[in-house]
Amino acid sequence: MRGKVKVKVDGIEVEVDPGSVVLDAIKKAGIPMHSLCQAGELYRGASCRLCLVELPNGKLVPACAYPVSNGLEVYTRTPRTLRTRRTTLELLLAYHRIECWICKRKGDCILVKMANDLRLEGIPICAECPLHSDECLLNKGILCLGPLTVAGCEAECPATGGRCWGCRGPITREDVVVRALRRYRELGFTLKEVIETAEIFWSAHPFLEKFKLLAEGV
């Protein structure tokens, strides 16, 4: 039986089985690392490039596919790896149809976890909300600003019996805003009441006027 392979991850030495990949060593070291190919049906075959790590020679390699070797060293959170992951996630989100309020991954979305970690705006609080189907406040006729508000609070208010008032500020990605506004209308809310509710916390936000213009066009 072959012995274990020693790998250093951010200076932490771990032992993994021969044939393992770097991502296995990262997990063994207890270091957080997102990887969409681990999420099932999203991406496969190291195609998302969101788990890139840096080798001592400066080369970036995907942790989910790069094989370990004895004495290998990798770095997970260098300025270069973080910058590259952030740019990659921005591109992925730009082509991702964000409708978190009806998504089956609502409440357990790896994209919002990655966006929060990399400090990217564009995903609404609905992605973090555990309320599905008939439990959703909007489906109960309760005006909630979850579809329009920046994620990052783990949907604390809806999850504890309240509704989202938008205190984290508005999503500024226009296609997401337009789809959310259309959803409000489908559910019987008037855009006037949506705007009036949004103004409570967004009155001084520079996006408010653009938000109103988008509402006029819906």
Over range 181-201, report the average pLDDT: 97
pLDDT digits (tens, 9 = 90+) for 90-142: 998 888 889 999 988 888 888 888 888 888 888 999 999 999 888 999 999 99
Output the 3-class SS for the chain. Answer: CCCCEEEEECCEEEEECCCCEHHHHHHHCCCCCCCHHHHCCCCCCCCCCCCEEECCCCCEEECCCCECCCCEEEECCCHHHHHHHHHHHHHHHHCCCCCHHHCCCCCCCHHHHHHHHCCCCCCEHHHHCCCCHHHCCHHHCCCCCHHHEECCCCCHHHHCCCCCCCCCCECCCHHHHHHHHHHHHHCCCCHHHHHHHHHHHHCCCCCHHHHHHHHHCC
Over range 11-21, report the average pLDDT: 96
Query: What is the domain-level CATH number for residue 58?
Result: 3.10.20.740
Same domain, 76 and 153: no
Same domain, 17 and 123: no
Segment among 1-10, 57-66, 173-182 with least mean pLDDT: 1-10
pLDDT digits (tens, 9 = 90+) for 38-59: 665 555 566 788 999 999 999 9
Same domain, 127 and 106: yes
The pTM for the full model equals 0.79
CA distance 195 to 207: 12
Same domain, 106 and 212: yes
CA distance 60 to 32: 18
Which of 66, 88, 110 delimits the end of a domain?
88
- pLDDT for position 46: 63
Q: Is 118 within 8 Å of 88 (Cβ atoms)?
A: no
Over range 165-177, report the average pLDDT: 95
- pLDDT for position 107: 87
Counting the structural domains of the chain, the total is 2
Residue 9 three-state SS: strand
Which residue range(s) make up the domain with 202? 97-216
Over range 11-25, report the average pLDDT: 96
Per-residue pLDDT band at 1 (split at 50, 70, 90): very low
